[in-house]
Structure 1
């Protein structure tokens, strides 16, 4: 059950059933939604409210772009309504891609580099609510390969400005990025150092 208004629009994303396309890009902000939409053919605003949803086509494929807001909790609300809004009687499957920025944990990951996530260290509680505490959060390997191929075709080079590997998700930004903001600064600093030693690419 998800919340809808009297017109059948989902409460948060504003779309009706069937208005969400099977290829979905999920940036964090509406500014990025607008930036991505400039790359689409025939862009059309579906909803401009709490979140901004734009439909269009890329390479002939129907695409939806919608922002998720900040953090896993907001993203979980948007993603649930997005999934419920796709008509799987018309589409066999869907592809949802979270696109955005991260802070590097490795010296070789530079500003402007592209990171393709293969899996996530989940230091947040939302994913546990969805799939339980022990389920590994891994990306679809076919999607990973497709993303790497597309990146290489657009001038990115593995090991140079294209990186593939594990990333880190968190609920608190400043308390993780700067341990001095944490009530447990020593523990937070040690955790950040551990992620770096384990080869986690970014957070």
Structure 2
């Protein structure tokens, strides 16, 4: 056996040996702020950073494009995750490894309640885990819940910006088609799809999307803060579909990061572990 062969069998060689840069995101310590926005589409990164004070792309690999800058003088980053929970979970894992502490999903969604009109925002308080990624981390009964301070900051941001918004439950799926009760190729219908939308509607679920539940679940497991805000592109109840109001979610999430920074400062000054409604928001 040669020395080269012996070296290749050392335990741990199958893992990425680079401690300075994450394998998928290609970011390292110091590349990202403590608060990171998570859109799906890499093309949304530029649309998000356009509402910031300044920004710089720090990494661009596969579906993961990362930029860092400031908004209202507050450090902020954005990383695209691609479509679905597997890619989003990788982003959460690797961002946590380089210092991210607050994660906000920013995207688009389909509403299933008639009051959520196209162009409105949905701010998620919790999510139905109708995706497989989070189930590989923890039992199905474990809840996917948003951090209450992140929810509060998103609501405050939407109020300050004057946007119409709805607060409540989201359903995250692995499939845009069968998993959301849509027919597949040549009209294929998945088992149970005919009653899916109505069942969730009766349970007061507001919308469908594909990443929130995994982000919220992993954040809870790792002691991070997380939330989600999406612009409604389609309403399954009214039949409307328009790609309208894309920048609303970006502006709301970005402003929420600045508000969270103020909330954290206020809590620290009051000697509290975290912000609560008894404290002011100076933003």
Q: Equivalent residues in 2 for 1:52-201 (5 A)? A: 52-86=65-99, 94-156=101-163, 161-181=164-184, 185=190, 187-201=192-206
8 Å CA contact 1:25, 1:96 repeated in 2: yes
Per-residue deviation at 1:142? 1.4
CA distance in 1 between counterparts of 2:137 and 2:82 reads: 19
CA distance in 1 between counterparts of 2:17 and 2:82 reads: 21
DSSP 3-state at the match of 2:159: helix
Q: Equivalent residues in 2 for 1:3-14 (5 A)? A: 4=16, 6=18, 8-14=20-26
Which of residues 41, 44, 52 in structure 1 aligns to 2:53?
41
CA distance in 2 between counterparts of 1:79 and 1:29 reads: 16
CA distance in 1 between counterparts of 2:75 and 2:137 reads: 27
Q: 1:3 to 1:55 in 2, by over 3 A?
A: farther
Q: 1:66 to 1:168 in 2, by over 3 A?
A: same
8 Å CA contact 1:119, 1:166 repeated in 2: yes
Given the two structures, how large is their TM-score scaled by the length of structure 1? 0.87
DSSP 3-state at the match of 1:165: strand
Q: 1:179 to 1:36 in 2, by over 3 A?
A: closer
Per-residue deviation at 1:141? 1.1
Per-residue deviation at 1:49? 2.2
Larger relative CO (CA 8 A, sep 6+): 1 or 2? 2
Per-residue deviation at 1:175? 1.0
8 Å CA contact 2:122, 2:165 repeated in 1: yes
The alignment's C-alpha RMSD in Å is 2.1
8 Å CA contact 1:40, 1:58 repeated in 2: yes
Question: Runs of 5+ in structure 2 lacking a partner?
Answer: 1-11, 209-283
- Whose Rg is larger? 2
Question: Matched residue pairs, number?
Answer: 193
- Alpha-carbon displacement from aligned partner over 1:140-171 (angstroms, at most 9, x marks no partner): 11111111011001012xxxx21000010000
Question: Runs of 5+ in structure 1 lacking a partner?
Answer: 88-93
8 Å CA contact 1:176, 1:192 repeated in 2: no
Which of residues 32, 42, 53 in structure 2 aligns to 1:20?
32
